[in-house]
């Protein structure tokens, strides 16, 4: 993504596609948005057993160092139900930007609640475990296309939610929503959030096989676009790609709430889950380094991402690679770099003064290159000659995948579809 990116393309439609996988690089990381419906799974400990990425990412070991204490994540989504066993005591007061019936605690389809549980769920009641279980959630409810068709809603709910999140106590913003149509108001809200020192993650979308058009807010230069990958570090066929992609996270075979009744979990794939897991990864790193700025946290996530291509060359499928917070938390790897320089735009950011001293060895993050993209598509950088998958346990961290959940991820439309 570049600072001069067009601000005129954007649109939101449901990201609910279950795809197979494109060959890419195998590594440890977190994956993004897009959920697809699948068979329900028992609401039991069996759900937690399906969270394969927790072991792969060395969650238990990281939790001995930090569980995300002191970090709050703004979840801009369909609302968050604070009464599920896994979220009791985890959800703070937020905002309903839709201005429709209900409030931010009324999740109209279960998607936002899933994202919150993947980030900060305690696992109580045999629910989903979050990667940052001591972090807190602030919900900001916005509308998807179906909700818009059924209710009279605030046409500016997305930008209003982003601005409210920027003004909140949250350090991280997680938005598993997308649209093909950018607006000046939303772009300004994103820039406002950057100026307030927030670290903003958004899903790249699940429509790679249906046009692969850039999704916003992920395509804004100031936002970290997240794609979804599987246990082997391969990106799902549904996961959108291009310069919009900055990181990959687990997004396949990740459980989610089936619907707004919160009676059972379903299996699915999507960039939504990947975005939530990437946001939780940032929460863990920031909790371990509370004096860092958003720029420094992100620079370390880029620096420690798993990849088997030359550093400084970006993949349009995995961006900087698979997210690996354990490389920093458990091994002290990663260069934070300058407190006030964005790893995304390479420009100075307002409101980002931090106590950590700028580093002259900050890693450079050049434009994405087709060199890594071609290898990822062919899968030639994914496997060794002996057939073993690279990065499955790269630096002691196993790879994560992307999930999809039916009706969970939405690329939100404006008034017209």
Sign of CA dihedral 286, 120, 107, 269: positive
- In the set 77, 106, 308, 340, the catalytic residue is 77
Q: Which residues are registered as beta bridge partners of 96?
A: 141
The phi and psi torsions of 275 (rounded to 5 degrees) equal -65, -40
Please say whether the beta carbons of 14 and 411 come within 8 A. yes
- Catalytic residue status for 272: yes
Strands 397-398 and 393-394: antiparallel
User: For residue 174, what are the CA distances in angstroms to 70, 177, 339?
Assistant: 17, 9, 21
Percentages of the chain per state (helix, strand, coil), in multiples of 5: 25, 20, 60
- In the set 86, 239, 272, 326, the catalytic residue is 272
- In the set 86, 96, 107, 111, the catalytic residue is 111
- Catalytic residue status for 160: no
User: For residue 417, what are the CA distances in angstroms to 152, 256, 267?
Assistant: 15, 26, 28
- Catalytic residue status for 386: no
Nearest to 107 by CA among 148, 142, 131: 142
Residues belonging to the active site? 77, 111, 272
């Amino acid at each position: 993504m570049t600072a001069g990116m067009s601000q005129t393309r954007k649109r939101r439609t449901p990201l609910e596609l279950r795809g197979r996988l494109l060959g890419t690089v195998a590594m440890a990381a977190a994956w993004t948005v897009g959920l697809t419906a699948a068979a329900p799974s028992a609401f039991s400990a069996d759900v937690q057993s399906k969270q394969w990425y927790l072991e792969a990412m060395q969650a238990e070991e990281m939790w001995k160092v930090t569980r995300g204490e002191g970090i709050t994540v703004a979840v801009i989504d369909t609302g968050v139900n604070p009464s599920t066993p896994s979220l009791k005591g985890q959800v703070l007061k937020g905002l309903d930007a839709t201005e429709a019936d209900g409030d931010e605690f009324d999740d109209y389809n279960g998607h936002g609640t899933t994202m919150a549980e993947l980030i900060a769920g305690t696992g109580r009641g045999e629910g989903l475990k979050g990667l940052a279980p001591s972090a807190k959630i602030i919900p900001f409810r916005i509308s998807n296309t179906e909700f818009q068709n059924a209710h009279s809603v605030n046409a500016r709910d997305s930008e209003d939610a982003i601005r409210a999140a920027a003004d909140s106590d949250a350090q991280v913003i997680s938005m598993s929503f997308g649209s093909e149509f950018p607006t000046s108001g939303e772009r300004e809200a994103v820039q406002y959030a950057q100026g307030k020192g927030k670290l903003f993650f958004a899903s790249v979308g699940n429509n790679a096989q249906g046009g692969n058009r850039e999704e916003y807010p992920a395509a804004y230069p100031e936002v970290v676009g997240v794609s979804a990958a599987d246990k082997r570090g391969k990106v799902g066929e549904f996961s959108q790609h291009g310069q919009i992609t900055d990181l990959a996270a687990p997004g396949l075979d990740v459980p989610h709430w089936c619907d707004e009744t919160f009676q059972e979990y379903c299996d699915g794939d999507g960039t939504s889950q990947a975005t939530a897991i990437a946001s939780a990864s940032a929460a863990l790193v920031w909790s371990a380094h509370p004096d860092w700025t958003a720029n420094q946290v992100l620079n370390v996530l880029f620096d420690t991402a798993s990849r088997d291509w030359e550093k400084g060359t970006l993949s349009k499928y995995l961006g900087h690679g698979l997210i690996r917070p354990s490389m920093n938390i458990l091994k002290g790897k990663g260069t934070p770099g300058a407190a006030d320089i964005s790893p995304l735009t390479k420009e100075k950011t307002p409101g980002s003064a931090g106590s950590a001293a700028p580093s002259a060895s900050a890693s450079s993050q050049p434009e994405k290159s087709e060199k890594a993209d071609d290898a990822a598509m062919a899968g030639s950088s994914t496997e060794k000659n002996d057939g073993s998958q690279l990065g499955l346990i790269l630096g002691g961290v196993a790879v994560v995948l992307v999930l999809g959940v039916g009706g969970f991820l939405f690329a939100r439309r404006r008034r017209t579809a």
